[in-house]
Amino acid sequence: MTLTNIVLLSIHNFLRWVVLALFLVVLFRAYTGWRGKRSWEVVDRMLMIVLTSAIDIQLLLGLVLYLIKGNAALDKAIVMEHIPPMLLAVVVSHIGSAKTKKAEQNGEKFRQAAIWFSVALLLILVAIPWARSMNPFIRLF
């Protein structure tokens, strides 16, 4: 494994935790706003922008890793069980962001965010290779 692969994989692994933390914050604000009849604030929109941007960066890093290593070097779990659900999660996140932006009422904005980002998070949680991912350097040896 080259130094480039190690660096990209380490960034990809670290950013996963950032994305998961952002999901928890966005979903907490979405559900409490939806149920608590809170007003939609600029910080709610900014958090969703940061989350979708982090997801996009994560996708780009993953695709670069895939292209560098090639399909033959990756096992079936990554190619078939990780990449497709992650791509779908990115799409679902962007749909959720767009639907939230288009909603006119506060409650509807929070509802759209809660539903779409919950689905995206579930897809991500299912697609993360948990057994191999607790130690980012496990694949180096």
pLDDT in tens, 85-112: 999 999 999 999 999 999 999 999 999 9
Q: Is residue 127 part of a domain?
A: yes
Where does the pLDDT of residue 5 fall: very low under 50, low under 70, confident under 90, or very high at 90 and above? confident
Q: Is residue 123 part of a domain?
A: yes
What pTM was computed for the model?
Answer: 0.85
Cα dihedral 22/23/25/30 (nearest 10)? 140
For 32-80, write each residue's pLDDT tens digit.
Answer: 999 998 999 999 999 999 999 999 999 999 889 888 876 555 667 677 7
Q: Is residue 76 part of a domain?
A: yes
Q: Is residue 141 part of a domain?
A: no
Alpha carbons 49 and 57: distance in angstroms, whole number: 12
Q: Is residue 110 part of a domain?
A: yes
Q: Is residue 107 part of a domain?
A: yes
By the 8 A CB rule, do 119 and 99 touch? no
Find the radius of gyration of the CA atoms of the chain.
17
Where does the pLDDT of residue 128 fall: very low under 50, low under 70, confident under 90, or very high at 90 and above? confident
Alpha carbons 52 and 23: distance in angstroms, whole number: 10
Q: Is residue 140 part of a domain?
A: no
Tokens of 50: 């940061």
- Number of structural domains the chain divides into: 1
**DSSP helix, strand, coil percent of the chain (3-state; round to 5):** 85, 0, 15
Domain enclosing residue 94, as ranges:
3-135
